[in-house]
A and B are shown apart, each in its own frame.
Chain A
């Protein structure tokens, strides 16, 4: 029993026949943290979440929640609650009955469970929609109800499977603030699966980058962004150029690169492939002479003082301390 961690994965493996979906991963998630499992589709992040939830059997390894080994427990005995990607609100029940569902299953009387459900609908600002059916709610409202339904079980760990993917971009930013606030207020651990590095960086206390069934890097977002361990991580979290340095591969942040002339500082040259105006910055994509691609994020003022066009010859320049040596390709 180690009370410092809400969730511990010990050499967890998931095999489907002969294919390895999750390959021997170990992870410790500290108390009351917001953890994001990040990776491309098929990397094993959702399978990992489902194994923690108990919806997927573990092929090998152990899962501990609050220090208890729950590897063989059914979902309800784990102290987890899951919010599904499509929310999975029961279409034949109104919001109130959806939220009260777990209490009903435990045999709690109607008056008591409805009162409790109203309280949790209030927590997600949906008290006025108690009698509505899920089909009469917008995506964002459905999500709040799904959240209330999960939280009413008083979980130690809330599992969220791509919770923002069904929302439009504006709502997404609003909802992620709310999720983060809720997590802080409740003081429980949230594990959030996403393929969006923006989302993970904005929300996570602990960011876990996965690929091919393995954890490639985990740590606070800032640490992962500033010190990616591999070319994969640097490319996947974005904003980096992976280049060939003097002593092996290096990653240089695109916003630390600028267009200039070859001098003493490190540089690569090529041709401008595309210019994208992004408001505060302009992204200049370069097709390098080596055949690789790189880009520079240039402040708009700097760009327009010396603009370039696709097809122009250009040189990408950075200063030595900005080059981060990658441990592996």
Chain B
């Protein structure tokens, strides 16, 4: 196909020259990378804006003023508290998502009557408009006379998003799992619980960590479903959005830098844990 596009009329064959499409597609890719990372890089840079600088270039000196501003008590937004709430909520969401999606992933391996319908019912909320889901839940709580709260309505609203995602991810993980591991374990006298504990879960562990991470980050920056269900205390994305619409200062950029750093820290720590696990296995292996 590439040869046809180049129009040289040359027969297909080995050539040391790359076709022009290689450079065109390469350019497109780098353009996309610039689009993706450029604005973020600008934000990180501007978060170190000097005390008299604004939200645009030029930089008027450099400082950590805006980072200090985040934790200043007289701010109109309480960023540290919102951050704490977000981390806490994301941890709970992640834990519940892991438990349910691992259980469902293992359960769905068997095709039972109605399993398809059940599956589509479970994942349908992925295609529902997020804002409407949140609106519906918020409204439902009001109708029932319940207060919207982080660990009731908001937790539920976020789970409608993370659990189908977790289920999909576990399907991919479980599909690659060879059933004969469990049969071998049964053959060797393991009870159902022992099979799960000593064989299935350890083998699936890397995938399970992935689901936990995915659910955590989905919850951590969830906005649309949370905004109408959170009640009186905002999570971090809601707090940031409130700030953006009310005031603009480089502090917003500083918040962006800090939250990104936290995300990278989290990913980095997970990678270290996984890497250590692998290295320990390898170290045990090379001991002899």
Contact = CB atoms under 8 A, between A and B. Distances in A.
Interface of A: 53, 55, 74-76, 80-82, 84-86, 88, 90-92, 94, 101-102, 104-106, 128-133, 136, 149-150, 153
A91 B205 CA distance: 12
Nearest to B191: A105
A84 B203 contact: no
Interface string B182-217: 011111111100100011001101000000000000
27 contacts: A55-B183, A55-B186, A76-B186, A76-B187, A84-B180, A85-B180, A86-B178, A88-B178, A88-B184, A90-B199, A90-B202, A90-B203, A91-B203, A92-B202, A94-B285, A101-B185, A101-B188, A101-B198, A102-B190, A105-B188, A129-B288, A130-B288, A131-B287, A136-B285, A149-B184, A150-B187, A153-B189
Interface residues of B, number: 24
A128 B288 contact: yes
Interface of B: 178, 180-181, 183-191, 194, 198-199, 202-203, 205, 281-282, 284-285, 287-288
Contact of A82 (B184, B205, B281, B284): B184
A133 B186 CA distance: 21
B285 A131 contact: yes
A102 B288 contact: no
Given A76-B186, A105-B194, A132-B288, 19 more contacts: A76-B188, A81-B187, A82-B184, A84-B180, A84-B184, A85-B180, A90-B203, A92-B203, A92-B281, A94-B284, A101-B190, A101-B198, A105-B185, A105-B198, A129-B288, A131-B285, A131-B288, A133-B284, A149-B188
Contacts of B285: 94, 131-133, 136
B180 A102 contact: no
Closest 4 CB pairs of A and B: A102-B188, A76-B189, A88-B184, A88-B180
Contacts of A75: 186-187, 189
B189 A106 contact: yes
A88 B281 CA distance: 18
A152 to B, nearest CB: 9
B281 A86 contact: no
Contacts of A94: 281, 284-285
A117 B188 CA distance: 13
